[in-house]
Structure 1
Amino acid sequence: MKKLCALCSGIAVIFFLTGCAGQESGEAASSTPSPTSTGYPSASPSPVAPDPGKSEPSGEASVPANDPDVTPMPVGVAECDGDNLGISIAAQPMASGAGSFFSEITFTNTSGDACLVEGAPSIFNLADSATGAVVGKRAADSGMPEVVQLAPGASAYSTIHFSNAGAYDCATAVADVAKVSPPNWDSSRTITLESPVTVCNTPATYNVSWISATSLF
């Protein structure tokens, strides 16, 4: 009877160990499923015939009409009439210092239609209002060309940069007015400067920037 019980116990242990091993093998196998074959070969993509209604690319880059990085030129907008541009000059003392002084010219569209303005003021002279004499020599224009479209009442800006004439060994003169003309316009207007400026005739001690849609001040 004791031998029979011992035999039964041994058999139970063997079944228990075998069951555990089988369970571990099953879990390992299920963690990495093997692909199931359908018995049919996989389909290969067929080449697509070109659509005769579409032309092949020519190799030249084209820009879509709605590309946000491309600004189309305005169509049907004329150049600003100089007689319809208000002109004012304001000193910028907060931006001045270290031998540099700045003023800003503002051009405002006083007409009822949009117009375009581009370039530096074509005539810009400093003068002594007492004698009418033009003083100072203007240096080359600065800045980048920009076409500005002005809606009625909108403004564009140009910066005047003065260098300290006292830093040069030159004959100086004092100007209290400026004769300004919009780009590509012959007639000028005389604008009183908020603060008289001292300039040299040689070397040139001031320049004027191209007109921009954005004020620097």
Structure 2
Amino acid sequence: MTIVTQTWRRGTSITSGWDFTVKHRAVAMVYTYLAFGSDYRRWYADLAAVRNQIQGAAVLDVPCGGGAVFGHLSGTAPRRYIGADVSPAMLALAGKAAEKASIQNLELVECDVVTMPYDAEFDLCLSYMGLHCMPDPAGAIAAMARAVRPGGVVRGSTVIIGAGWRSDRFVSLWQRRGIFADVYSKNDLRQWLVTAGLNAITIECSGAIAYFSATKPARG
């Protein structure tokens, strides 16, 4: 187990601080602009689009973290919603967030993304702001692709390098603090999606945060 995984599993003031930040819009907007040159309204727009997609769908949210997505999807009725994370500390926070949300058929699961036991079970896989904390992001994307059905979508966001000196310095800072693992480029992200057998790939960057969407080909 890597140092980064250990940090997230046990939870620290920094990880709980991230959970607070992402759940409070004004704080998130300021932080992501200062650290990553990103306009976090892009994330809220993404969640608005997702809200229209999950009604009656089977959804996998990995890593779900402290449940930051839940509040934005409150009142929706997916057929199944799995919030998965390797961190018991984050899942404890997610449980509290789930109590406040009214998403139907929501279940929290502790598991490692690369070894998830899911195979062609979901219509939509969400993965927001997690890949840069994982020791094997390419393997994680492959596992997400495996988890969705043919025609299913893998959608999310991640921090990338190469968007500017300021964001790259923040990446280095969080790596030294044991919060970020190795962080890769937009081109690397695209290659992971291609290698996982996904198509209809889109990647849009807001500063050093890349938003991606890709589809698992339907069976011919």
Considering fraction of residues, name the structure with more helix. Answer: 2
TM-score if structure 2 supplies the norm length?
0.22
Q: Which has the larger strand fraction? A: 1
The structure whose Rg is larger is 1
